[in-house]
Amino acid sequence: MKLLFIADPLESFQIYKDTTFVMMREAQRRGHSLAACEPKDIAWQRGGRVQAQVRRITLTGDKTHWFTALPQSSDEARCELKDFDAIVMRKDPPFDSEYFYATHLLEQAEREGAKVFNKPRALRDHPEKLAIMEFPQFIGPTLVTRDPQAIKQFHAEHGDIILKPLDGMGGMGIFRVGPDGLNLGSITETLNQHGTRSLMVQKFLPEIVLGDKRVLVIGGKPVPYSLARIPQGSEVRGNLAAGGKGVAQALSQRDREIAEALGPILYKRGLLLAGIDVIGDCVTEINVTSPTCFQEIFDQTGCDVAALFVDALEAAVSGRAGA
């Protein structure tokens, strides 16, 4: 297959932990050809099809200079997206206006015959914080609001709460307010920018000490191991980007129950890969833009998540897929 990965700049990859890198490596191992571009490289003009300025690459196996761009003319670099067998959208958050516009360009490419994973419409329809609203049976007490008074009432009811922006990533902007309510007003003002931005407020789940588990679902089916991101020191955040320690572990019965309930639903909507975040028994987020943790799980358990992903990708492209 001819694969195009839409991602952040290749030069920024930290390949010892990067999930997109191991996807590429497994695809190349199977004989698929690789190309890469960034969202800014995609364009459309009336009378033509969605195109991108791409780099055709091969992986070298070297840890420092990990890829080589193959020689090509400027004409060869300008490709119609429909000419690839599959396009893998792996641009990291934030889900900002430019990301939103990229999904519309990719959806136009789909109308022209391109196969995009995850589907652009599904990316738009599942904001990673708000996607949990559809599954209240699996989440803890949660409030989405701009109203400072509603947040005060939620705190009065639950005593120990977490506040976070809807567009945050990697643990950025997450605050805990305990029963004393210290700084609740100022934190609310900071996050909601004096009532102009909505926040998510959730009851604090003490099970976070055991980790914020990333449960991966590929092709509608759960990967048998999760990665528990465990907060370190006085941190309340388990995110690896915030210094959390990643510990791979077999799915619990509750993890599997959640994944088996949500997985087929998400897959039927075009989400080939999703990362469900679980604290204790509760879903806290559903990650769909560029779920990670492939390498950490493989390094600790030997479960080859990248191979499971490429299996699912091949099946989806060939029409053999079925959740």
Question: Active-site residue numbers?
Answer: 129, 164, 214, 229, 237, 277, 285, 287
Residue 158: partners with Cβ closer than 8 Å, 6 or more residues away: 141, 203, 204
Residue 149: partners with Cβ closer than 8 Å, 6 or more residues away: none
3-state secondary structure of 129: coil
3-state secondary structure of 181: coil
34 within 8 A of 5, measured Cβ to Cβ: yes
8 within 8 A of 39, measured Cβ to Cβ: no
229 within 8 A of 249, measured Cβ to Cβ: no
Maximum separation of any 2 CA atoms in the chain, in Å: 64
Joined together, the tokens standing for residue 103 give 């999904």
Quote the DSSP letter at residue 130: G
* CB-count burial class (<10 Å; 0-12, 13-18, 19+) for 249: middle
171 within 8 A of 239, measured Cβ to Cβ: yes
3-state secondary structure of 81: helix
Quote the DSSP letter at residue 136: G
Torsion of CA 71, 114, 134, 157, to 10 degrees: 30
211 within 8 A of 247, measured Cβ to Cβ: yes
* CB-count burial class (<10 Å; 0-12, 13-18, 19+) for 196: exposed
